[in-house]
Amino acid sequence: MDRQTFEQCCAIKFFVELGESATVTYEKLQRASGEHSLSRAQVFRWHKSFLEGREQAEDEPCAGRPSTSKTDDNVERVRSLVRSDHRLTLRMISSELNLNRFTVHQILTQDLDMRNVCAKIVPKNLTTEQKANRRDVCLDFLDRLGREPELFSHVITGDKSWILEYDPETKRQSREWHPANSPRPKKARMSKLKIRLMLICFSDSQGIIHKEFVSPGQTVNQTFYLEVLERLRKKVACVRPGIAPTWMLHHNAPCHTAVSINEFLAEKSIPVVPQPSLFAGSQSL
């Protein structure tokens, strides 16, 4: 309690002994202390306490936990506990160390500069050999880019993906502006269409060069993929004549390792860009 508050509490005790009401006491304190006066609720609380027989004008000592638990010792205790298990929750840490959750949260976010994040899901962890392959391929690209700055402008990337006929509109996408008194719009629930088609698409730094849908029931085997590559080769000559003699293919089709595919690419003088391993089991082209 500061000195000014203590003096006003003494004044309240004095007014109680004179028989003044709480309202009168508050008004007199307002005239004497102005904007530094205690609030009405505080004056009435102290006035009632003195009426009930309280003698001391100072705050009584508080028992229990100190006002703050964010000490250097507790910061180190939280650090050690979290290092032993990074998945501990605020509730578990506060229970283990006998600290309140707000203090634990402050220590973690402010003192230890930590944040609670989810693990990143990856298909599989790379092996040491696959990591080395990624590094070698990337270093080779950097070296070639230093000698051939326009290298990637000659690269055509191809991939395939399943495409649904339509995607249902989400709740957030259906938001509309309405007056406060208007009824909430209704939207029928729609599920994703089970009918889907596979799309094969090839593009370069300027945009899409060739795309085609795979007919239902058609398997993307080496025979079918050979036909796709032949159509791509003719399309490149039409829409990208500037790179037609020197373009390179970067693809990731399951049948790309077939002998017939490699023979076709070699016969047509189409180099294949190496692809570093993206997940366990992938192979460089």
Q: Specify if 141 maps to a domain.
A: yes
- Say whether 133 sits in a helix, a strand or coil: helix
> Residues 88, 17: one domain?
no
Instruction: Match 């730094």 to its residue by tokens.
Output: 205
Q: Specify if 123 maps to a domain.
A: no
> Residues 153, 255: one domain?
yes
| pTM attached to this predicted model | 0.46
What pLDDT sits at residue 229? 92
> Residues 160, 229: one domain?
yes
247's CB contacts (< 8 A; 6+ apart) are 154, 155, 156, 204, 236, 240, 270
Contact 160, 202 (CB under 8 A): no
Give the residue from 238, 269, 237, 265 showing the smallest Cα distance to 251.
265
Q: Specify if 62 maps to a domain.
A: no
Which CATH number characterizes residue 217's domain? Answer: 3.30.420.10
Counting other chains too, the contacts that 272-279 makes at CB distance below 8 Å and 24 or more residues apart are 272/248, 273/155, 273/248, 273/249, 274/137, 274/140, 275/137, 275/250, 276/133, 276/134, 276/137, 276/138, 277/126, 277/130, 277/131, 277/133, 277/134, 278/123, 279/122, 279/123, 279/124, 279/126
Q: Say how many domains are in the chain.
A: 3
> Residues 154, 203: one domain?
yes
Torsion of CA 166, 172, 177, 181, to 10 degrees: 120
> Residues 101, 132: one domain?
no
> Residues 141, 254: one domain?
yes
Domain boundaries, position 40 = 3-51
Q: What is the pLDDT of residues 103-114, one digit of tens each?
A: 899 899 888 888
Neighbouring C-beta atoms of residue 268, cutoff 10 Å: 11
Q: Which residues of the chain have pLDDT under 50?
A: 63, 65-67, 278-285
The amino acid that residue 99 corresponds to is: L
Q: What is the DSSP pairing of strand 207-214 with strand 196-204?
A: antiparallel
Contact 154, 247 (CB under 8 A): yes
What is the C-alpha to C-alpha distance for residues 278 and 285, in angstroms, rounded to an integer?
A: 12
Cα dist from 156 to 145, 262, 276, whole Å: 16, 17, 16
Reported residue count of the chain is 285
Q: Specify if 224 maps to a domain.
A: yes
Q: Specify if 99 maps to a domain.
A: yes
What pLDDT sits at residue 209? 93
C-alpha of 197 from chain center:
31
What is the C-alpha to C-alpha distance for residues 266 and 258, in angstroms, rounded to an integer?
A: 13
> Residues 258, 136: one domain?
yes
Give the residue from 27, 246, 83 showing the smallest Cα distance to 156.
246
Contact 211, 156 (CB under 8 A): no
